[in-house]
Structure 1
Amino acid sequence: MSQSPSPVEIRQWLTGHIAALLEVAPQDIDPDTPLDALGVTSMEEVIITADLEARYGVALPLADMRRHPTIEALSTHITGHTAAHGAGQAPPTPAPVPQADGTPAHESGTDGISSDTLPR
């Protein structure tokens, strides 16, 4: 996806997806009702977060489902997250942590492990 999805797009997708998981009609889902009150279980939260990542490239921690407990709140949160991090883009790779001698671990060829540090 080349641009960040809108809150409306995410809300519509979440509503349809949750309705399918709960086996109810999408029009029976109120986006302002807490997910647990709709009957979403923790297993379904895992499914939703995995599907959100697959669809929008958003790695959403399960804790965010609790911090943003409605479809409306979650849609707004995800939109802000994709705008800040770029939709479908992986987060930047952190710089390697230097070893005690100051060389990055990847340059030593041993990732910081030497026979001197291993137990005998």
Structure 2
Amino acid sequence: MNNRTALSAPAVELSHEAVVDWITAFLAEILDITPNEIDPSTPLDHLGVDSATTLVICAGFREELGIQVRPRDVFDHFTADALARRLTGPLTGTGPLPAGV
């Protein structure tokens, strides 16, 4: 089953809250602000996230959490909350795939 728009599943299951916390901490480091300054419902472009930053976010997911996230996935779920919901949501035909698929 090859779905080019799907996210890859992490090696361990992550909670929505853990993924939101990771995203806000990661963005805070990149943007040189505190995680408390990031509202998880704020569109990422309002935080200054652009296509280059999106690539850094995808690399961070892969390196730190073992999750393969494509730039299109970030753009389609363009808040920390929406992206975390997508990553931790129930598996469906278009849901996460095992890493390397």
Compute the displacement of 1:56 (Å): 2.3
Name the SS for the 2:89 alignment partner. helix
2:19 pairs with 1:10: yes
Compute the displacement of 1:17 (Å): 0.4
Query: Superposed, which structure 2 residues align to 1:54-69 within 5 Å?
Result: 54-69=63-78
Compute the displacement of 1:64 (Å): 1.1
Task: Find the counterpart in structure 2 of residue 27 from structure 1.
Answer: 36
| Gapped regions of structure 2 (runs ≥ 5) | 1-9
Percent identity reads: 30
Give aligned pairs, total. Answer: 89
Which stretches of structure 1, 4 residues or longer, exceed 4 Å deviation after superposition?
Answer: 81-84
Structure ranking higher on relative contact order (CA contacts 8 Å, 6+ apart):
2
**Taking structure 1 as the reference length, what is the TM-score of the superposition?**
0.65
| Gapped regions of structure 1 (runs ≥ 5) | 92-120
**Larger gyration radius, structure 1 or structure 2:** 1
Task: Find the counterpart in structure 2 of residue 105 from structure 1.
Answer: none
State how far apart, in whole Å, the 1-side matches of 2:76 and 2:12 are: 25
